[in-house]
Structure 1
Amino acid sequence: MKQTILIVGGLYGMLSVILGAFGAHAFKSMISADKLASFEVGVRYQMYHAIVLLILGFFLNFDTSIEKWSSLCIIIGTFLFSISIYFLAFSEYWNINWKFLGPVTPLGGLFMIVGWALLIIFFAKNKI
């Protein structure tokens, strides 16, 4: 589990740097300013949670289910949140109706919130 968390954290971090670079340069001419701002929110949250996953991977042992579930919720939530924002940002450019992804973004946010809540519970129960 520990290795998986570290690998996913690394992948999320790498992809957020790549996508952030494209957003800062190439995507400016492709999508509107408001869509680009949304895209950048997805990149920013992905990077924040990549860092959190790396920290968790380095410092937790994943002996309890709460440690595992908190990390899984953060992984799933970040994926759903950021990926849905990326696709929604490019919906006009690709001329594809991705509006059905609209509810996926807050669902991803909810998973991230649950992951954080589980971490708070874990930290409250355990003296680290």
Structure 2
Amino acid sequence: MKKFIVTGALHGLLAVAFGAFGAHALKEVLDDYSQGIWETAVQYQMFHATGLLVIGLLMSWKLLGEVKQLNIAGIFFNLGIVFFSGSLYVLAISGIKVLGAITPIGGVLFLAGWVLIIVAALKHAR
């Protein structure tokens, strides 16, 4: 659906912007450990931005029919980006370690989203 194409493109745009910001503006601010955390956040945001684009295209082209699993997967990817990458961005800048406890929520949302895409594809194959 259009909403996942738009949010995927927006997350992709932000991932590129955050990646450049981290590499240049934060170069002297972040230590190596925090820089690694920032880069992980950017990578996962971009991976799942691409996933959102794919979900949106699959839904738009009705390649898997009208599958509610794809809609839920898209919601999970959007929330996963906020929880996973968002918590890592804040952790990298602030150093507040307790924020690391939020990150796995995003990871579980990512995993659930991928499982739902598999379910949608298998459901359509029948």
- The TM-score, its normalising length taken from structure 1, stands at 0.88
Coordinate RMSD, CA, aligned = 1.6
SS at match of 1:30: coil
Whole-Å separation in 2 of the counterparts to 1:4 and 1:116: 18
Q: Which string of whole-angstrom CA distances, capped at 9 and with x for unpartnered residues, describes residues 52-107 of structure 1?
A: 11121112247232111111111111211000000000114xxxxx3332211011
Aligned residue type for 2:39: E
Identity %: 36
Q: Matched residue pairs, number?
A: 122
Secondary structure of 1:71's counterpart equals helix
Runs of 4+ in 1 over 6 A off after TM superposition: none
TM-score (norm: length of structure 2): 0.90
What is the alpha-carbon distance in structure 2 between the residues aligned to residue 37 and residue 64 of structure 1?
37
- 1:14-53 C-alpha deviation (Å, 9 max, x unpaired): 0000010111111110111110111000001101111111
Distance 1:58 1:125 in 2: 18
Is 2:116 aligned against 1:118? yes
Unaligned runs of 5+ in 2: none
Task: State whether structure 2 residue 45 is matched by structure 1 residue 42.
Answer: no
